[in-house]
Amino acid sequence: MRFTLLFILCFVGLTASAQLQLQFWKRKPKQPVVLTAVQALPSQINIGTTKLPNTLPAQNLAYSFFSIEIAEDALLAEAKHNMRFRIYNMASYNFSDLAALYLKQNRFSEAKWYLLQSNTIAREAGNYRHLLDNLYILADIKSKIGEVPLALADLQEAHDAAVDKGMLSDLTIINKKIKYLQTNKTLTTKAELRYADAVEAANSKTAVN
Summarised one tens digit per residue, pLDDT across range 47-104 is 444 454 454 444 444 557 789 899 999 999 999 999 999 999 999 999 999 999 999 9
191 or 62: which leads in pLDDT: 62
d(CA 41, CA 35): 9
Q: 93-121 b/e with 16+ CB inside 10 Å = b?
A: bbbbbbbebbbeeeebeebbebbebbbeb
Closest CA to 108 of 73, 145, 136: 145
* Opening angle at CA 35, ends 33 and 36, nearest 5: 155
Summarised one tens digit per residue, pLDDT across range 121-173 is 999 999 999 999 999 999 999 999 989 999 999 999 999 999 999 999 999 99
Q: 139-161 b/e with 16+ CB inside 10 Å = b?
A: bebbbeeebbebbbebbebbbeb
On average, the pLDDT of the chain sits at 76
3-class secondary-structure state, position 86: coil
pTM of the model: 0.61
